[in-house]
Amino acid sequence: MTTTNALFEPYDLSGLHLPNRIAMAPMSRVRSNPEGLATASMATYFAQRATAGLIISDGIQPSLQGQANPLTAGLTNQAQTDSWKQVTAAVHANGGRIFAQLMHGGRIGHADHTGLQPVGPSAIAARGTTVFTSSGPQPAPVPRALSTAEAGKEALVYAEAATRAVEAGFDGVELHGANGYLIGQFLSSSANQRTDRYGGSVTGRIRFAAEAAAAAVDAVGAARVGIRLSPGAGIWDAIDEDVPELYGALLTELATLDLAYVHLTASTEEETLLGFRRTWPGAFLVNPVHPGAARPADRTAAEHWLGLGADVISFGRAFLANPDLVERLRGDLPLAEGDKATFYVGGDTGYLTYPTYQH
C-alpha cells in the first residue's frame, strides 16, 4: 500500500541509494560555451538541486553529429569530458546523485552549428518544424538517411559517450529515446520509412533502441543505464503508430538487459502506461503530466502515479524555479513559477537566481 509520504521514502535504484523518490527530469537550458564545455554556472545550477533523489542532466550530445542545438555541452572528446567533472563533483559534494542524459538529435539538428548534415533513419524532414541554429530558427533540414551499416555504428555512439560520462563522474546515463530525437525517430513510423532490418515491422523499428541500450550496458554495466521514452507524444513530427504494441515490444526486449530503469512521460493514455508498468519488471520512473500540459507536475500528480505503481516521479519545470523543490513538496509550500523568457537565453539570470523558500 502506497503511503502519503511515499514520495519522500528512500529507494534502491540498482544499488544507487536514493533518499527520496523525486527525480529532476532532463531539461535543455543551453548554458554551455561555444566549445560544448560544461561551465561553473552549470555546476552551481545542478548542485543547488542536489536534494533530488536523482538528477538527470540536460541532453548531452554523444557526438558532434548528434548535436541538436547550439550551446549544449557534449561528451564527445576529452575536454568536454573533463569539463563535466566540476558538475558531478559539485552535485556529489552536496549529497546528490546525477545521471547524464545522452541525446542524439538525429534529424533535429543543423549544419550551422555542427558543420554536418543531420542524419536520420530516412531522408525525411520533420514537417512544419523549425530547429534552433547558431543564426536563429530555421526550417528543419532533410537529413541524410543512415545506411544499414551506419545505423549499427551510430547505435554504438551511446556506448562511447556512456564510457566518457562515467569517467566524468556521472552515476550513470539515460539514453534519450523520447521526444522525437534519433532513437524516437527509429521508433516512429513517420520518420522511419526504411525497408531494411531497422525499419518496417515493430521488430525492425525497435532494433536501433535495443542495440543502443545493449551497447551502453556492455560499456558501463546495466546498473548505470536507463532510458527515457515518450509513447505517442508525436514531438518533432515523430509519429508513433500502434503505441501499445510498439512500446510493449521494446520494453520486453529491454527487460532482458536488466536496465537501471525506464523513464516514461505521460504522453499516452493512462491505461496504456499501466500496461507498460505490468510489462516492465524493473524500476519505473514516470513524468506524470503530458509534455504539453499547461501546468507542471505537482505532489498530487506524483502521489497518483506512485499509487499506480511508479517507483520514482520526475519533475521538470517545477525544478527550474524551485531549487529546493523536495523541501517545498515535503512542507506543502507554494511553488515559484519559472520565467520562460530566460529558459534558453544563456547567462545566470533565470538560471542561478531562483531563491529557496523564505519563511
pLDDT at 295: 84
What ranges do the domains of the chain cover?
A: 6-342
Say whether 247 is catalytic. no
SS3 23: strand
Listed residue (112, 224, 205) closest to 151, CA to CA:
205
Q: What angle do CA 139, 144, 150 make, to 5 degrees?
A: 145
Q: Judge whether residue 247 has pLDDT over 50.
A: yes
Cβ–Cβ under 8 Å, residues 138 and 111: no
Helix/strand/coil percent split, the chain, to 5: 35, 15, 50
Taking only the tens place, the pLDDT of each residue in 86-136 is 999 999 999 999 999 999 999 999 999 999 999 999 999 999 999 999 889
- Interval 233-257 mean pLDDT: 97
Res. 1 pLDDT band, cuts 50 70 90: very low
Q: What angle do CA 233, 103, 69 make, to 5 degrees?
A: 90
The residues pairing with 131 across neighbouring beta strands, listed in sequence order, are 138
Where is average pLDDT lowest: 115-129, 281-295, 309-323?
281-295
State the CB neighbour count (10 A cutoff) for residue 277. 17
Q: Judge whether residue 40 has pLDDT over 50.
A: yes
Taking only the tens place, the pLDDT of each residue in 55-92 is 999 999 999 999 999 999 999 999 999 999 999 999 99
DSSP 200: S
Q: Judge whether residue 3 has pLDDT over 80.
A: no
pLDDT at 213: 98
The residues pairing with 54 across neighbouring beta strands, listed in sequence order, are 23
Q: How far apart are CA 59 and CA 181, in angstroms?
A: 11
Mean pLDDT, the chain, rounded, equals 96
Taking only the tens place, the pLDDT of each residue in 196-221 is 999 999 999 999 999 999 999 999 99
Q: Judge whether residue 48 has pLDDT over 70.
A: yes
Q: Judge whether residue 313 has pLDDT over 90.
A: yes
CATH placement of domain 6-342: 3.20.20.70
Q: How far apart are CA 52 and CA 55, in angstroms?
A: 6
Q: Which position among 158, 181, 198, 247 bears the catalytic label?
A: 181
